Structure 1
Amino acid sequence: MNIKFFAPSWGNTLPFALFCKNVKEAGYDGVEMALPLEKTEKQAILDILRDFDLKFIGQYYQSFERDLSEHAKNYEKYLRHLIEAQPILVNCQTGKDYFSFEQNKHLFEIAERISKETGVKIIHETHRGKSLFAAHITQLYLTSLPNLRITLDISHWCNVHESLLADQTEAVELALHHADHIHTRIGHPEGPQVNDPRAPEWKETFETHLKWWDKIVEIHRKKGTQLTMNTEFGPATYMPVLPYTQQPVASQWEINVFMMNFLKKRYATLC
């Protein structure tokens, strides 16, 4: 087993080649991102990733349609669009929090069918506003659909449940055993992202997240399976900002590189 670390393209404002140069020099293994539908633009991005020897995780977030049939049609279109680029996996913000269990299940079944057909792993992110928006809801899906694999971004659940989930241990434990990819952002009871994980006031919150991630790492270590991590702290205004000026209170890039280096050191024997 080893752990591969991915940089988020979310928030990048640099030319993509320069961004990839920085990603490579920082020590990341790849980039997690969506791809444009326009073929020439898409190919240019993939060429740059290849030039810098960076791996690619496809990211789907375009869950906008209220009508299920339209939603499912576009869902399949985007998944196949990402799979054409031969990612190591596709991470999906699947479904909507207001869809019924059966509606979201239909989308999971589409992803499973495409995954079996193409041989590309498709997993589903625990994200606010989507099907897996809360711990207890995810527990229901994972119990009913035991083959479902997830990206654990537990920062969202801290926000949704306004807690560090001490009263949701069974749901969290089940999720840890279904996680193949981690978004290592640190959330808190009042938001999905602390202003700076290096600040001492977040010590307990940081350590709580580390305990969750440690368990996932140990699960994959015992199984000898691949685990990936995306440091995914976001830009302003996901990153808290100052009033009036709207200036971010910290550097997104510096925090993400800090998180990567911290986790590489923590899991050094596995990277």
Structure 2
Amino acid sequence: MNLLYFCPLWGSETMPFEQFLQQAKNAGYDGVEMSFPLNEKERNEKAKLIDSLGLKLIAQHWETVDKDPKLHRHNFEKRLRNLASTNPLFINSQTGKDYYTFDQNCELFNLANEIAIETGVPIIHETHRGKWSFAAHITKEYLDRLPDLKITLDISHWCVTAESFLQDQKEAVNKAIGSTAHLHARVGYTEGPQVPDPRVPDWGSALNFHLEWWDRLIKVNKEKEFFTVTPEFGAPPYLINHPESGEPLASQWDVNMWMMNLFKKRYSHLFSVDTSTETEF
């Protein structure tokens, strides 16, 4: 199995787009994960540029936030069809609302499935606060009832939602791992979705909880031809700034690079060596 690494556009939006793509390619990423504007010309130009540089694409949906279910459905469909036209490997979608009923969120899953069948572009659904999958136990209920549903696992959100490292929700975590088709590799903790800097030994315990989950995820998927990973430490306010200077406590780009390289080192032989021990700092 090959692990393919994707660079998030998040945090680099102010950089000239071609410069961002070239920087991601030079850094060793296999592709980029990003949303696209609804403007057809701009969308097509960006998609063409990604392809011309030999980069792969994961299209990302997060913009649909409407409270009214009918309006939400309309805008959700518009966004997904727009993304499908960029010919990505798949679409990663932040879907629905945490306060929507099961049936209301299922309407969106069904719509996404219809679009996926029609366009040939798979659509998977990210675990995220504020969405259908805001907590481990809620996600398990959906996955129990919808066994074919595939997810992007970002377990950092569940740590802050549950205010724990989910030690008492192992069944829900295992269920999620078995349904995961893509990984967002960010380290959360019990009071936030992103530690200030995972390279610092003080955050070693939080990192190791995530590494244990990721080890199991990679093992579950090791027979696949490839598996995709996006190191997704985010920009402010996920990234914490110094309270006086306002300067970031860490470089988002450097942290994501460090995470990608940690994965490359840890899984270089895909379990021909023991990866169960704690990370050294």
CA distance in 1, matches of 2:246, 2:229: 29
Aligned to 1:226: 226
Deviations 1:40-87 (A, max 9, x none): 211221122122211110000012111111111111111111011100
SS at match of 2:133: coil
Return the letter of the residue paired with 1:122. I
State the TM-score, normalizing by the size of structure 2: 0.93
SS at match of 1:143: helix
Residue 80 in structure 1 maps to residue 81 in structure 2: yes
Deviations 1:172-212 (A, max 9, x none): 00000000100000000000000111000111111110111
Return the letter of the residue paired with 1:105. C
Deviation at 1:225, TM superposition (A): 4.7
CA distance in 2, matches of 1:115, 1:2: 24
Aligned to 1:155: 156
Which has the larger helix fraction?
1
Is the 8 Å Cα contact of residues 180 and 226 (structure 1) preserved in structure 2?
no
Where does 1:236-251 land on structure 2 (aligned, <5 Å)? 236-251=236-251
Deviation at 1:3, TM superposition (A): 1.2
SS at match of 1:214: helix
Where does 1:36-185 land on structure 2 (aligned, <5 Å)? 36-185=37-186
CA distance in 1, matches of 2:82, 2:102: 26
SS at match of 2:222: helix
Return the letter of the residue paired with 1:27. G
Aligned to 2:7: 7
CA distance in 1, matches of 2:26, 2:184: 21
CA distance in 1, matches of 2:118, 2:262: 38
Q: Which runs of 5+ in 2 are unaligned?
A: 271-281
Return the letter of the residue paired with 2:6. F
Deviation at 1:96, TM superposition (A): 0.4
Distance 1:38 1:29, change over 3 A: same
RMSD: 1.1
Stretches (4+) displaced over 3 A: none
Deviation at 1:30, TM superposition (A): 0.4
CA distance in 1, matches of 2:226, 2:70: 34
Percent identity of the aligned residues?
Answer: 48
